[in-house]
Structure 1
């Protein structure tokens, strides 16, 4: 990571959560267009957004593991 651990642990959590909310909120219109109206192009956008969300989730999982392990090593 490019930031230090204390910065990531405090400000990073808020930033990552805001990113997650923005990703999900950005999908809302396309979800509605696909599921309500049957718009196939919106379905493609939903699939792409879900793939982006999956990649984001993996990044967050890796960061959490890294922070957890670095904290464990410091206290041991």
Structure 2
């Protein structure tokens, strides 16, 4: 499971980087916002890595499922 998640995240990161580079000369970018999101993602990655060492995978999967459900409800309510 960890290898599959890691591989998936690597592919997503590479795909995002290539897409980002493709639009660099076509749109204006708020570098402050971009860097703050990058920093938050990096911190989240480190925190998630530490949590995965101390919490069972099944509990992490269940918690992630609830998190995705909560975000979906939030998005639906905002519409």
| TM-score between both structures, scaled by the size of structure 1 | 0.48
Greater relative contact order, per chain length (Cα 8 Å cut-off, separation 6+): 1
The structure with the larger Rg is 1
| TM-score between both structures, scaled by the size of structure 2 | 0.47
